[in-house]
Structure 1
């Protein structure tokens, strides 16, 4: 890897290197074979050392990434070869995973869902919708980046809880996904010249809950269309992950509408992952919570797949199927 030289990381910033297969530390680490590698927007800021105080990986070092993997070798009593686990292994076909950070996977039809709807994006959505905003029947719920795994899951949860759901996404194809597959009541294409008017019309009296994934530009529009006492979940700032000035948030609508602003950091909810799985797994298995994935095959496709995510070209959860026999 070289340091990204432009506004966005591109495929040419990365290369594949072969390394010797490591030996796990007895009782502490698992040697795993990566089945699926996940790409998430925050990785762009992490590569620049701008994510939660974590250092940026140096050129030549392995890159961060959550994976679904199969245990190959273990002397830890809680895991045995063949177990499916999830955790941060990185961009690799094999690697070491600390046993204390490995999540044993609940069996589902599609194991890769543990990187999307059942993984960190889904946990993020659940935390924001149910634990912070406490969405209930009768709410008007708006969310941007609605075609992505966080926004799409958040809107689906809100809909299942009885809210009216309005999404914002980029382009007709993504809006069709949000509306026709995720089941939102409406989705607004922010590339359309009249999108602000269409957004206001879709909300009617305004949103009672807004879930922010993008940043200051779209948040300003959302704040102009909230009801008194609205709850604002500030989750992602993808617009600002790759440089530029800090986001400037208009304060007058927050004060005038007596809005409640709720900051969301998903790491605060890791200890409660099981609560989300208890709710989500039945929904996923019976089709009420839809799983849409954008999957490339082979580790060699990882740089191009990551660049596509950075450019917003993915449709659903961005993954690489690393192992050709991955279920």
Structure 2
């Protein structure tokens, strides 16, 4: 007898940042037999990133948004229940785009096997796409090194938190930039940053360090305007995200004259360029996870029915750490 599962889908097409009310939970009936080249996966964790809100309203890298009722984009980690492919067996732990669902039938081309002895949920965060993003920006673009003064905004987030920890491992001094005392505490007390500047306070710009040698940008104009004049000569800047502009459609701009005067190198970072090198990142990260030098702070919502509310929190910048939804065990 076929299995009926629950799945979160869009209620209607989106033009604004997603809210919990934009989603419905529907029931789907899985096929009785597995097509060749697919596996039956039970989802354990769903990872929700800022780019998802952009994707859902056709503002991310030209990707077509899902129509109402179609599976939604996001990486999840799950366990294989049954397989019709020689490369996977029941009991394998896998990561891939499986929709926001309890279970799914997934083509194996969309999956990769992961090692559950390192971590489980962390394969969506520090070991997943956010961690790969940080590694690429820090080691392949900015090439952070001992003695650097490194700054990063959205400092409580998983990308920034991982980037800062990589910088600490490399021997840099790390200063985070975040909104609110709680988020700054995550950066300093959990991720081990040397300091964090709270941009919700009046006059925060004057608390930023001078002679910044590496900056990792995740927010946009508000932070760029403050950081650029404080760059060191020959500074390196990685442009990763523009969270400030995702909701209102405004455009970030940079003063070319200041960049020239600083002789700054500006790198645009798109993580898709580094997917083929994921194992390099995992090999680098795994020993540091085991010795406690590389951690992730998790913001967990319990149950599939909380996925809509969780992506709303992400879109509003209210999550504190890696935004996850625990779906099963």
Q: Is the TM-score greater than 0.5? A: yes
Q: How does 1:61-72 map to 2 (within 5 A)?
A: 61-72=70-81
- Which residue is equivalent to 2:213? 208
Which sections of structure 2, spanning at least 5 residues, go unmatched?
Answer: 1-9
- Which residue is equivalent to 1:144? 153
- Which residue is equivalent to 1:190? 199
Q: 2:90 aligns with which of 81, 87, 95?
A: 81
Q: 1:219 aligns with which of 204, 224, 231?
A: 224
TM superposition shift of 1:162? 0.2
Q: 2:307 aligns with which of 302, 306, 310?
A: 302
Q: 1:46 aligns with which of 51, 55, 65?
A: 55
Higher deviation after alignment, 139-148 or 55-64: 55-64
In 1, distance between residues paired with 2:250 and 2:182? 31
Measured against aligned partners, the alpha-carbon deviations of 1:19-64 in whole angstroms (never above 9, x if no partner) come to 11145430x2222111000100000110111111110111122211
Q: Say which SS state the counterpart of residue 15 (structure 1) adopts.
A: strand
Measured against aligned partners, the alpha-carbon deviations of 1:109-137 in whole angstroms (never above 9, x if no partner) come to 53000000000000000000001000000
TM superposition shift of 1:9? 1.3
TM superposition shift of 1:286? 1.7
Q: Say if 2:268 is the partner of 1:258.
A: no
TM superposition shift of 1:5? 5.3
- Which residue is equivalent to 1:233? 238
TM superposition shift of 1:244? 2.2
Q: Say if 2:137 is the partner of 1:132.
A: no
More strand by share: 2
Q: Say which SS state the counterpart of residue 179 (structure 1) adopts.
A: helix
Q: 2:326 aligns with which of 308, 321, 324?
A: 321
In 2, distance between residues paired with 1:320 and 1:69? 12
Q: Say which SS state the counterpart of residue 54 (structure 2) adopts.
A: helix
TM-score for the superposition, normalised by structure 1:
0.94
In 2, distance between residues paired with 1:105 and 1:95? 18
Q: Say if 2:28 is the partner of 1:34.
A: no
TM superposition shift of 1:102? 1.1
Q: Say which SS state the counterpart of residue 81 (structure 1) adopts.
A: coil
In 1, distance between residues paired with 2:219 and 2:250? 15
- Which residue is equivalent to 2:117? 108
Q: Say if 2:301 is the partner of 1:291.
A: no
In 2, distance between residues paired with 1:123 and 1:87? 15
TM-score for the superposition, normalised by structure 2:
0.94
Measured against aligned partners, the alpha-carbon deviations of 1:206-225 in whole angstroms (never above 9, x if no partner) come to 21011001112211211111
**What CA RMSD, in Å, does the superposition of the two structures yield over aligned residues?**
1.3
Q: Say if 2:30 is the partner of 1:25.
A: no
Measured against aligned partners, the alpha-carbon deviations of 1:228-287 in whole angstroms (never above 9, x if no partner) come to 111110111112223423222222211110100111110111111111111111111221
Tell whether the 8 Å contact from 2:94 to 2:112 is kept in structure 1 after alignment.
yes
In 2, distance between residues paired with 1:241 and 1:24? 39
In 2, distance between residues paired with 1:304 and 1:144? 24
Q: Say which SS state the counterpart of residue 69 (structure 2) adopts.
A: coil
